[in-house]
Amino acid sequence: MNIKRNFFKRLGTLALAGFAAVSLACSGQQMGGSNGTTSSSGTIKVAGTGSTFVKPMMDKWGSEFGKLNPNIQIDYSGTGSGAGIKGIQNRTVDFGGSDAAMSDDEMKQTTGGEIVHLPVVLGAVVLTYNLPDVKEPLKLTPELISDIYLGKIRKWNDPKLKAENANLNLPDSDITPVFRADGSGTSDIITDYLSKTVPEWKEKVGRTKNPQLPQGIGIGAKGNEGVMGQVKNTPNTIGYVELTFAKANNLPAAQIKNKAGNFVTADSSTVSKAAAAFTDKMADDLRFEITNADGPEAYPISGTVFMLVYKDQQDAVKGKALVDFLWWAINDGEKFVVDLHYAPLPDTLVQKVDAKLLSITSGGKPLRQ
């Protein structure tokens, strides 16, 4: 409404004000929007950054939504969950993506008021590895994963690994663990899982987006793409990535021992079963994790991707485009999820996210009704 008041003051006539309102409507802007929302071509550009975990899904959603709404361009860059949180805190982007919910301290550091957490999709963190002569899936317990990343297991044919994988021809070769060197929601998911299951890990490393491993252990890489590249190109490595990245590179994923004592393969179904165990336990602000879930078929290193959005949007036009995109993604866009090896939100969670989207405003006015 500031634009409209300033227009009255400058021109001072009702006729010209009416002409301006018609012009704004024809250009696709709404009253309350700020200057610079659209490009010279009339395209509304909405920018987000963060989680590399969800980048393949966001690229697909952005492309499909753009076909239906050619005047809206969703630009999402995979820079890591830590960067996504920083971006939304500092308002350098319109939304952030993170595989880890923001902490209370991170919420206090925002510059634009209250942030809403919007879960959009579920996924699996897998342990992928480069062992050309191993043809069947590797089996890993949380203790084995912890020991590898803490440097306690250094050989692929270590007796502890052979005890769970007696049928595999594990080589007498050094293990090179690969980890995330940037602030990572993927790291947060796997360290949360290990902190819940391995007391030594909880004491020495804990849950964190930036795991500090013993000096000299492993190779650091940025993004899921970086970890995947290291594993793909370096024999005898092991690294943790989102399932889609392993599938896209034709690399194996280990079966992980879950809370029920079963070795489980990561896929859309087993991730959905992990989420189902937490549906009734989710906080009202929708900050939650789904690691180490109950259930015989639940994949234990499952995670949620959150879009981080200010509850009251500065720009009504961009805000409306963003809300409409996210509404479409978790409702109509669900049909693209499984083909990319993610898992859709449970119906009860979709309803909760829809309610959050309806609460987003600009200047106190709802952007979607």
What is the C-alpha separation between 143 and 31, in angstroms, rounded? 58
> pLDDT value at position 16?
33
CB 282 within 8 A of CB 269: no
Q: Where are the domains of the chain?
A: 2-122+307-366, 124-302
Considering only CA atoms, which of 123, 122, 87 is closest in space to residue 102?
Answer: 87
Contacts with 274 (C-beta within 8 Å, 6 or more apart), sequence order: 122, 290, 291, 293, 295, 298, 299, 300, 302
> pLDDT value at position 369?
82
Query: Which CATH number is 124-302 given?
Result: 3.40.190.10
What is the C-alpha separation between 303 and 291, in angstroms, rounded? 7
Contacts with 61 (C-beta within 8 Å, 6 or more apart), sequence order: 74, 325, 328, 329, 333, 336
Q: Left if phi > 0, otherwise alpha if psi is -120 to 50, otherwise beta: which for 278?
A: alpha
Residue 81's identity, in one-letter code, is S
CB 355 within 8 A of CB 282: no
124-302 and 2-122+307-366 share a CATH fold = yes
> pLDDT value at position 39?
54
Q: Left if phi > 0, otherwise alpha if psi is -120 to 50, otherwise beta: which for 303?
A: beta
CB 230 within 8 A of CB 196: no
Residue numbers in the chain where pLDDT is lower than 70? 1-41
> pLDDT value at position 280?
85
> pLDDT value at position 12?
39
* CA atoms 23, 29, 30, 34: torsion sign: negative
Considering only CA atoms, which of 196, 185, 192 is closest in space to residue 259?
Answer: 196
Query: Which CATH number is 2-122+307-366 given?
Result: 3.40.190.10
* CA atoms 223, 229, 232, 235: torsion sign: negative
What is the C-alpha separation between 129 and 82, in angstroms, rounded? 25
> pLDDT value at position 267?
98
